[in-house]
Amino acid sequence: MSSKAIVMQSDEKKEVHLVVNGDSYELLVSSHETLLETIRDRLGLTGTKHACGTGECCACTVLIDGKPMLACLSLAADLEGSEITTVEGLAEGDQLHPIQESFVEKGAIQCGYCTPGFLMAVKALLDENPNPSESDIRWYLRGNLCRCTGYVKIVEASLEAAKRMKGVDNK
Amino acid sequence: MKKRQHAKSNLPGSFQVIGKRVPRVDAWKKVTGQEQYTEDIKLPNSLWGKILRSPYAHAILKKIDTSKAEKISGVKAVITFKDIPPYKLGYSIHADKYALCKDKVRYIGDEIAAVAAVDEATAEKAANQILVDYEILQPVIDPLQAMKPKAARLHEERSSNISVESHYEYGNTAKGFKDADHIFEDTFETQRQCHVCMETHGCVASWNTDDSLSVWTSTQIPHLMKRFLAKAFKLPFNKVRINKVGVGGAFGARTDLFPYDIIASCLSKKTGRAVKLILSREEEFFATVTRHPSVVTIKTGVKGNKITTRQVKAILNAGAYATQSGNVLGSLGWKGANYYRTENYKFDGYAALTNTAICSAYRGYGGPQIGFALESQIDMIAEKLHLDPVAFRLNNANRKGDITISGCEFRSCGLTECIQKTTESIGWDKKKKRNKGRGMAIGFGETSWRGAYYDDSDVSTAIVKMNMDGTAHVIVGGAEIGVGYDTAMAQIAAETLGIPFEHVSVHSGDTDLAAYDYGLYGTRGTLTSGAAVKLAAEEVNRQLLQAGSELLGVSEKGLSVVSQKICVKKNLKKAVSLSEIADYIYSGKGLALIGKGIYAPETNLPDETAYIQPPGPAPAYLFGAVALEVEVDQQTGQFKIGKIAAAVDCGKAVNPSAAEGQIEGDLYHGLGMATVEPGLTYDESGTPHYKHMADYKILTSADMPPIDSILVESNDPVGPFGIKGISQVTTSTVGAALANALYDATGIRIKELPITPEKIMEALKKKTAMQQRNHRS
């Protein structure tokens, strides 16, 4: 695990330690700084998208200690010691995660703006329930809005990912 | 007249790359978070821009005091009307809006002033410290009221609030109605749908030290933007560069030059620093663009079981400025003329200015408004005449070889197949249970809308470069906006050059790299850019064949390209690989391999009157059908769609996966409009009711019914490889299919979108009351 320290001058003085995609960060954050601002503006991880800023579309879904959370509604100051996974942390080196592979191969991507949020939500779903039915998937993902696909190929890709991940587990 | 350039098609062919479900070329960037959208662009030393918008729907600007805002620490510039170039946004004669208002605001959200500051919070704080004195005027919200001669005028220089009107007739409708056995007249209404792009609008502008301007933005029209910005700032065209970045949803919402483009450029010029200006989600709702709300009256004359005559009157709410209203009106009226075989047609259209958000391009471009009205009425007519609605449609349907009253020639037409496949898919003829209903509707569209930017020809361009290892770059003038455009261009180039799909890289959306192109809208990209790419690749092929001939000592006629080799036709073993030939051209002959392609259909000649007169024919026409089953709870009005089948005749699907994705997206927008999306509504002061995704409901994954997307391939002779295009048709079709299915289930006819349980309950109550009354009397 590599370690980076980014210390920023700020009005507020709270220091937090975050592990983002396996990298460790010590950050001085203001009390109102959202995790979305921290990861996008401070850490340069712009893969997580800003779409509404008010928790209405789930485009900014990340995993905080394995749970799907909205980065736009999470305050960095509250996350001392948390492990955060963003879309940039999903692949292992050159090897795409089976969820990413499934989205690519099933044509589940159009504009791509909601894609990172969907990938993280599907990751959370499949970690909780490796055998979801189509309706399980539709229900779990109901907060993640997509304006391009009608969700058809996103649901197909999620089913495919579940199949592939089981295949990996069986090995 | 230019001669029509029919791109040569090897039809019906077996293709190596065309028609294959290859992964999108941008997919990897998009699943790893590498794709950069406007807000992700970070230039060194850059500032944030923020706009002060009008809180009043209609007011005179008496005084703007920026002194307080200017004094705030971190503020680098504050601008008002006097700082911006005197350039009016809008298309051609419809240009009527300054980027910052001069002396009057015309809707809540109208731009008044702007700030550049070191960060977003400071910019916002400063914008709120700009003091404005308003003289509040009576707002005009309702388009029918706005059209009255005594209504308060939005634009003083206009003689009325009618932004544009259009009147024309084919044949003789008066005689047609006189001769008809039956005449039907009905009025339908649709709402102001919001695009709700996941990425809000915005840009990053940099006025450079060499007096050039670079703009990074999510746009459908990079080359038009370049032209408009160059004109606005009086810059030579070579000094303006548009870098189209990732586009987080377009749907027509990004086919205008926006005030923020000029504002950010102006702020950058003033400060000497790059300026990022990203709209908030609230601004996205009330201060970008929306679909035109409509009132459409259709009068149809029927003789026997044939539609002979049709008259359409449409009133659109244009919002506060003209933008593309004339063209949306033109598209609506023109579609009405061509949906079915008709002998006589008359159109009267009006777009009325009101003190509400601007209405501009939205997927369908007038199609959903006319489609809902026309296809609802077809079922109403069929019922009155005791005709089967499917048979009635088939009886009047367009066929291959038809030339319509407006002059459209259908060189291909898969409409009958679309109708058959969709009805089959949902089990149209199967026995129905109580409270269940089935409905269908057809759709009609065209490739390349010619009205929109009618001050020059509708051209697409491509450059194909082959490297010395036989791989290729394609530089196209269009823009990947999420639809799979770059992938389609890579497939077309790979197919034409006979090289693997993976050996092609596509570059689109950069105005310095590519030659002029109209952009990505109007279902034009795959056909027009595809034709240009094919022409460019063919030019490279000619050079390869010539060099191959030299290497093999056989005349070009005796050679053919087979799997990355040039072979002697009579002896396929005698061959030389493309990479060897390419290397020979570069290293042996000291030359380079470049091809260019320019495609402009003859039908797209500039026409200043295109917005008033019906437009001329398009290069290709799209046909489609939607059929669905619905179950209604008559106690609550709640309804559930069992399955939707949607078919589109796209000519040829370059990438079936992406083509299905277009149908699914079309259906999604159409179904949202037909059901849960309230549309941006206003109170009488002109205040919009919706500013958040939480209030403006859009469909979720849990709401969507199962979808069967069906590709019908009619192999059109004009486009490359038989391609026509696919999008927009289904968006215009699904509303009527749902209304028809609900009627089938309940016997009530809803003529107003969206269809809600409340409207169904109200209609059911009315129906019951009427039945009771009839029973008593």
Q: Do B692 and A56 touch (CB under 8 A)?
A: yes
| Whether residue B617 has a cis bond before it, omega within 30° of 0 | no
The helix (H) or strand (E) run that includes residue B126 is helix B120-128
Q: Do B665 and A106 touch (CB under 8 A)?
A: no
Select the residue of B23, B198, B281 nearest A53 (Cβ to Cβ).
B281
Phi (first) and psi of residue B410, to 5 degrees: -90, 95
- In chain A, residues with a C-beta closer than 8 Å to the C-beta of B30 are 109, 112, 115
Cα B153 to Cα B53, B138, B140, B315, B772, distances in angstroms: 21, 10, 8, 18, 48
| pLDDT tens digits for range A1-51 | 344 444 444 465 799 999 999 999 999 999 999 999 999 999 999 999 999
Residue of A nearest to B201 (CA): A51
Phi (first) and psi of residue B682, to 5 degrees: -130, 150
Q: Which domains does chain A have, with CATH numbers?
A: 3-89 (3.10.20.30), 98-170 (1.10.150.120)
Q: Do A111 and B40 touch (CB under 8 A)?
A: no
Residue entry with tokens 């996966």? B657
- In chain B, residues with a C-beta closer than 8 Å to the C-beta of A84 are none
Full DSSP string of B661-710: HHHHHHHHHHHHHHTT-----B-TTS-BS--STTTS----TTTPPPEEEE
| pLDDT tens digits for range B164-212 | 998 989 999 999 999 999 999 999 999 999 999 999 999 999 999 999 9
Residue of B nearest to A52 (CA): B281
- In chain B, residues with a C-beta closer than 8 Å to the C-beta of A95 are none
Distance from CA of A105 to the nearest CA of B (A): 6
Q: Is B155 helix (H, G, I), strand (E, B) or coil?
A: coil
Distance from CA of A80 to the nearest CA of B (A): 25
pLDDT at A131: 97
- In chain B, residues with a C-beta closer than 8 Å to the C-beta of A115 are 30-31
| pLDDT tens digits for range B311-367 | 999 999 999 999 989 889 988 999 999 999 999 999 999 999 999 999 999 999 999
Residue of B nearest to A47 (CA): B33
Q: Which domains does chain B have, with CATH numbers?
A: 27-35+459-600 (3.30.365.10), 38-138+200-247+254-286 (3.90.1170.50), 294-398+412-451+608-769 (3.30.365.10)
Phi (first) and psi of residue B663, to 5 degrees: -60, -45
Q: Do A46 and B36 touch (CB under 8 A)?
A: yes
Q: Do A100 and B32 touch (CB under 8 A)?
A: yes
Q: Do A147 and B246 touch (CB under 8 A)?
A: no
Distance from CA of A151 to the nearest CA of B (A): 6
Chunked mean pLDDT (size 10), chain B, 777 residues:
41 81 97 98 97 98 98 98 96 87 98 98 98 98 96 94 92 98 98 98 97 98 95 97 98 97 98 98 98 98 97 98 90 93 96 97 96 98 97 96 92 97 97 94 87 65 97 97 98 96 97 94 94 98 95 93 89 93 95 96 56 70 97 96 97 98 98 97 96 95 98 95 96 98 97 98 94 83
Q: Do B693 and A52 touch (CB under 8 A)?
A: yes
Interface contacts A/B by beta carbons within 8 Å: 169
- In chain B, residues with a C-beta closer than 8 Å to the C-beta of A71 are none
- Classify the complex by whether its ipTM is higher than 0.85, answering yes or no: yes
Residue of B nearest to A50 (CA): B199
* C-alpha span between B507 and B517 (Å, rounded): 13
- In chain A, residues with a C-beta closer than 8 Å to the C-beta of B641 are none
| pLDDT tens digits for range A154-170 | 999 999 999 999 976 54
Residue of A nearest to B696 (CA): A56
Q: Is A120 helix (H, G, I), strand (E, B) or coil?
A: helix
